[in-house]
Chain A
Amino acid sequence: MRRVRFELNGQTVEHEVVPRLLLSDFLRDVLGFTGTHVGCEQGACGACTILLNGEAVRSCLMFAVQVDGATIRTIEGVSPDGTSLHPIQQAFHENYGLQCGFCTPGFVMSTCALLAENPAPTESEIRSHLSGNLCRCAGYESIVQSVRQAAWELAGGNCAGKADGDDE
């Protein structure tokens, strides 16, 4: 057993964990943050994506013991108050960017990271960056549109993202 202390969605968490406990299972089964979904446990589907110190990572490819001292944000920490939608979530809602919703938390977290780094991504940058998140329902186009709208909203509505022709 190891004691870890870290910040989760703005709250300090301290807990004993066994070394082999995957971070995804720790968040879900021990701490009850079940919004992070597990779809493959091999880092391929992206459903378990979280922000670790602000960066998007697969929580199924880390052990809980490794988060000592870290800052973590999960889908539950995206909404400013837990009930209203963050502009990224709102954009997914308005663009039908989800169907079954199982992959959605991973897409939202990846989008958070993408837009923090590149506030005005082109369509091909979006498709390239989010190609590590699998969706089996929606065919992706509505997700691309969601991310584009989110970029626009987060930029205060005055930066539409570059047009397709501006790639490169």
Chain B
Amino acid sequence: MTSSTLARTSEAATEQSGQGFGASVRRTEDYRLLLGTGTFTDDLQLPRTLHAAFVRSPHAHARIIAVNAERSLALPGVVAVFTGEDLAELTAPGVMVQTGAESMVMETLPTRKVRFNGDPVACVVAVDRYVAEDAVELVEVEYEPLDPILTMESAAAPGAPLVDEDLASNLHTQQTQTFGDVTSAFAGAYRIVEARFSTQRMTHVPIEPRGVLAVWDAGRRELTFHSGQQTAHLLRTNLARRLRLEENQVRVVSPDVGGAFGQKIPLFREELTVAALAIKLRRPIKWIEDRLENLTAANHARDDSAWVRAAVDKDGRILGMKAELWADYGAYAFFTPKYPIDSIGWLLPGPYKFRDYEYSINVVITNKCPAGTLRAPMALVTWATEGIIERIARELKLDPVEVRRRNMITAQDQPYVSATGYTYEALTMWEGYEQMLGEFDLTGFRARQRAARADDRYLGVGIASVLEPTTYGSAWYKKGGRGSGHEAATIKVEPSGAVNISVGIVPTGQGYETTIAQVVAEALGSRVENVNVRLGDTSLSPYGMGTRGSRGAAAGNAVAYLAAMEARGKLLRIAAHLIGEQVDNLEIRDDQIYVLGEPEPRLPLSQVSWTAYMDPFKLPPGEQPGLEIHRTYDPPPMTFSNATHLCVVEIERRTGRVTIQDYRVIEDAGTLINPAIVDGQIRGGVAMGIGQALLEEVVYDESGNNQTATFLDYLIPTMDAVPPIRISHVQTPNPHTVRGLKGMAEGPVQGGLAAVMLAVQDALDGQGLTIERSPASPSRIRALFRTVEGDVDE
């Protein structure tokens, strides 16, 4: 179906009750979650279930000399203890392949070396978790400690000890990409402006940690893997391969998921171990990660840095840009190591007009917890792009608003092909920025800021224009080597007219059950209450790419809508035949078939669906019985949305505390399905960005011990740390997507980090202080002020 026919059919479909696109329908998920009857992984209880716990490395880097489980096995209630050697027999190793770099092999459990503090070494299976933890303490592992690699510099140093001895170097990925004639741009520049931005190691912290209940049906030879996940089908493919089973022998069921944020994508070693042992022991086995494990050994993220240089003319026009990007990827690779840092590279031009650009990426492997994709893997990018713009203005003594005016891509410039080859269309970066300036009295703020300075108070404002990649089509994956961006839906309009639908995306809090019901109800002229959405079970759902990036709307909901539109088409063809009208003359509203222009309906939808199943002789010639439709959809190579974030902070010089006084977002996510749900994504994403800007940080000591293993030390934002956020929406439909959907949910994190850090920098401006690393913690702010305190104190 082309976009023009979509546009036409959708016009007809929108004329019905207020539950479709654009309606803030209340969430259908809420009832079970509010009543306490939701089903999260740990809520599943099966008879004869055994419980697993893992022996974990106290060292950052050490050889495993011997594992002695004798005392552990002697403990009543302990069923078995398995080591890396055992798992190597039961499973195939994981191999991470990245074009242009060495492949990395990951054993299910390590047999030779542990590579970070928390690395799993052995798995104890016992009658309950209490006994399993007793037994873990009795497993004796003999280690030979090795020097840990804990910094990017030491990892990349020549002759450094290897974290992965099968690799040639700890510097795993090193690539440079050049676009246009960056050499000439720099040669002809009035000035080269440079700045550094780096961000701390973070972790995802879903309030529900990871977990799995693996059940082996020995009679059918089928494994059911109950586990809160984001990409159920990809996980099944991987799980079957690693267990040496066929894909029809493995069923992944993702029940209610208590948040994921990118953490619940890969097949983790603990999960694979539990699945293998459930088969081996022919007993259900449950492993529920505890918070200590989640903070130290699940997956980390970020830990990257950017050195950005801009060649500018004397008016602050950007002629070209260079970026050197580094990332510390930790000890193993669950994702291609280049992915997050490369997305910073290709996004760095952001909303600005220039053609000549070069970036290099450098990814090191170290003795820290493996990194992965955390909501907005490219989070640093908006701070870096907007930060260099601010720096240009500062160094050239220009108004930052004027620098943006001279460089930012406007509606008139679009479609615009970015320096890195991405097409921007229907984006409103400049327009959003102007709107923000219209709503916020910047001049008045500057006056308040000056007055406050005189009183030893430091106010700052940050305005960040966020360009957010949301939905990656197969063409995008093809460029990187392999993978698909398609999504799939199966819809069944049952004989009664009740609708069952499933899609390959897996909800982890986004309200998909509500939004999918909305788009389906709109397509079918039905009600949300009539649409049952079941997701996350590979035996029910069609094979899709799941939930990653922010593809829920423009891939997941889009394909649901397309499938429903096909069902609608068939319903109308049958109805037209039944009542002797032209298909084009019919519409469906309120579960009734109407002839256009007639006040009374001709048929209930249920009569049409009943006929489709039960009375095939009444169908139009050539029409097949039934109303079950499967549909796939591959979105455009890349879909973007954009937003403008504004943040006002006050810094208390004496303590280093940063307080947010005002936060505003203007969001253009194209056509909205459920604005209230989008608002929730903005608020949650900004909260995570604030966490990155002010609070959160994974810290290792000089021996590689994780110092932030509890919630007393790893600080996620609390209710008092996140301010109210003023949100407004602009809806500029994307002309190439279904219904103009764009999707969103990474951008709020990018914007949150950027707006807060820019505001902090603005508050420090004038003191000659520059903040180059997040978080802007009290300690970091104090350290900055201390360097100039002789001047400001008294």
Residues of A within 8 A of B (CB): 20-21, 28-29, 32-42, 44-45, 47, 74-76, 78-79, 82-83, 85, 89, 92-94, 96, 98-105, 108, 126-128, 130-144
Q: How far is the CA of A142 from the CA of B206 in the complex (A)?
A: 18
In the complex, residue of chain A having the shortest beta-carbon distance to the beta carbon of B375: A136
Find out whether the CB atom of A83 lies under 8 angstroms from the CB atom of B680.
no
Find out whether the CB atom of B711 lies under 8 angstroms from the CB atom of A100.
no
Q: How far is the CA of A60 from the CA of B256 in the complex (A)?
A: 21
Q: What 7 A-B pairs have minimum CB-CB distances, sorted nearest first? A: A35-B36, A102-B258, A139-B683, A101-B33, A100-B509, A75-B36, A44-B711
Q: Is B712 positioned at the interface, with any CB of A under 8 Å from its CB?
A: yes
- Which of B80-88, B193-201, B377-385, B715-723 lies at the binding interface? B715-723
Find out whether the CB atom of B680 lies under 8 angstroms from the CB atom of A142.
yes
Q: How far is the CA of A85 from the CA of B35 in the complex (A)?
A: 7
Not counting A42-B291, A83-B35, A85-B34, a sample of 5 additional A-B residue pairs whose C-beta atoms are within 8 angstroms of each other reads: A28-B42, A41-B291, A108-B34, A135-B207, A139-B685
> Chain A nearest CB: distance from B376 CB in Å?
14
| Chain B residues positioned under 8 Å from A93 (CB to CB) | 26-27, 30-31, 34
| Chain B residues positioned under 8 Å from A21 (CB to CB) | 130
Interface residue from B258, B509, B717 paired with A37 (Cβ < 8 Å):
B258
Find out whether the CB atom of A37 lies under 8 angstroms from the CB atom of B722.
no
Q: How far is the CA of A9 from the CA of B531 in the complex (A)?
A: 33
- Given that A38-B42, A102-B258, A133-B719 are known contacts, is A45 also in contact with B207, CB under 8 Å in the complex? yes
| Chain A residues positioned under 8 Å from B725 (CB to CB) | 139, 141
- 9 A-B pairs within 8 Å (CB atoms) are namely A39-B207, A39-B208, A40-B711, A41-B291, A47-B207, A85-B34, A98-B27, A142-B680, A143-B719
| Chain A residues positioned under 8 Å from B181 (CB to CB) | none
Find out whether the CB atom of B259 lies under 8 angstroms from the CB atom of A100.
yes
| Chain A residues positioned under 8 Å from B42 (CB to CB) | 28, 34, 38
Find out whether the CB atom of B130 lies under 8 angstroms from the CB atom of A20.
yes
| Chain A residues positioned under 8 Å from B676 (CB to CB) | 96
Interface residue from A35, A41, A130, A134 paired with B716 (Cβ < 8 Å):
A134
Q: How far is the CA of A7 from the CA of B725 in the complex (A)?
A: 42
Q: Is B209 positioned at the interface, with any CB of A under 8 Å from its CB?
A: yes
> Chain A nearest CB: distance from B633 CB in Å?
25
| Chain A residues positioned under 8 Å from B35 (CB to CB) | 35, 75-76, 78-79, 82-83, 85, 89
Q: Is B519 positioned at the interface, with any CB of A under 8 Å from its CB?
A: no
Find out whether the CB atom of B720 lies under 8 angstroms from the CB atom of A101.
no
Find out whether the CB atom of B207 lies under 8 angstroms from the CB atom of A102.
yes
Q: How far is the CA of A20 from the CA of B133 in the complex (A)?
A: 13
Find out whether the CB atom of B207 lies under 8 angstroms from the CB atom of A140.
no
| Chain B residues positioned under 8 Å from A134 (CB to CB) | 207, 711, 716, 718
Q: How far is the CA of A39 from the CA of B535 in the complex (A)?
A: 24
Size of the chain B interface, CB-CB below 8 angstroms: 55
Find out whether the CB atom of A102 lies under 8 angstroms from the CB atom of B259.
yes
Find out whether the CB atom of A74 lies under 8 angstroms from the CB atom of B36.
yes
A interface: dominant SS? loop
List B37-54 residues whose CB lies under 8 Å from chain A. 37-40, 42-43, 45
Q: How far is the CA of A134 from the CA of B719 in the complex (A)?
A: 8
> Chain A nearest CB: distance from B205 CB in Å?
6
B13-37: CB near A (< 8 Å → 1, else 0) gives: 0000000000000110111011111
Find out whether the CB atom of A141 lies under 8 angstroms from the CB atom of B722.
yes
List B722-757 residues whose CB lies under 8 Å from chain A. 722, 724-725
Q: Is B687 positioned at the interface, with any CB of A under 8 Å from its CB?
A: yes
Find out whether the CB atom of A98 lies under 8 angstroms from the CB atom of B684.
no
In the complex, residue of chain B having the shortest beta-carbon distance to the beta carbon of A86: B34
Q: Is B426 positioned at the interface, with any CB of A under 8 Å from its CB?
A: no
Interface residue from B26, B31, B207 paired with A103 (Cβ < 8 Å):
B207
Find out whether the CB atom of A100 lies under 8 angstroms from the CB atom of B508.
yes
Find out whether the CB atom of B207 lies under 8 angstroms from the CB atom of A99.
no
Interface residue from A38, A42, A135, A141 paired with B710 (Cβ < 8 Å):
A42
> Chain A nearest CB: distance from B724 CB in Å?
5
| Chain A residues positioned under 8 Å from B291 (CB to CB) | 39-42, 45
Interface residue from B40, B205, B208, B719 paired with A131 (Cβ < 8 Å):
B719
| Chain A residues positioned under 8 Å from B183 (CB to CB) | none
Find out whether the CB atom of B719 lies under 8 angstroms from the CB atom of A96.
no
Interface residue from A47, A82, A133, A139 paired with B722 (Cβ < 8 Å):
A139
Interface residue from B205, B711, B717 paired with A42 (Cβ < 8 Å):
B711
Among A39, A103, A108, A132: residue with most chain B CB under 10 A: A39
Q: How far is the CA of A76 from the CA of B35 in the complex (A)?
A: 6
Find out whether the CB atom of B722 lies under 8 angstroms from the CB atom of A136.
no
In the complex, residue of chain B having the shortest beta-carbon distance to the beta carbon of A123: B724
Q: How far is the CA of A138 from the CA of B679 in the complex (A)?
A: 9
Find out whether the CB atom of A76 lies under 8 angstroms from the CB atom of B36.
yes
Find out whether the CB atom of A139 lies under 8 angstroms from the CB atom of B684.
yes
List B202-216 residues whose CB lies under 8 Å from chain A. 205-209
Q: How far is the CA of A131 from the CA of B207 in the complex (A)?
A: 15
B35-77: CB near A (< 8 Å → 1, else 0) gives: 1111110110100000000000000000000000000000000
Q: How far is the CA of A29 from the CA of B376 in the complex (A)?
A: 36
Find out whether the CB atom of B261 lies under 8 angstroms from the CB atom of A96.
no
